[in-house]
Amino acid sequence: MAAPGPRRGLSRRVMIEAMFFAVAVLAAVYLLLPAFRRSPLREADPRTSLELARDTALRAIKDLDLDWATGKMSEDDYRDLRATQEAEAAAIMRQLAALERQE
């Protein structure tokens, strides 16, 4: 059997390079497609946002209590920070109550 001619080897190489190029293009499209998709933004539910803020404020108060009980902060700092957190939690709870009355 005769060895493949230079033309046959060249066409095989071109075909292999074309297949690699095609695979690379397909991979790039697959990886980049999600970046160009537009997904609709969901509006945040006000109740859920307020409930999350309330839980966060209450957790912060518990953390302050623990820090004070373990001696990590002075009593003056504890009182100031706790008063601030209590006011924030109360404001959030008032907003939640107003929202519930509207519904």
In tens digits, the chain (103 residues) has pLDDT values of 455 555 666 788 888 999 999 999 999 999 888 888 777 767 778 889 999 999 999 999 999 999 999 999 999 999 999 999 999 999 999 999 999 888 7
pTM of the model: 0.57
Paired tokens of 70: 């373990």
Q: Which residues contact 85 (CB under 8 A, 6 or more apart)?
A: 57, 60, 61, 64
Rounded CA-CA distance 21/70 in Å is 64
Burial of 68 (0-12, 13-18, 19+ CB in 10 A): middle
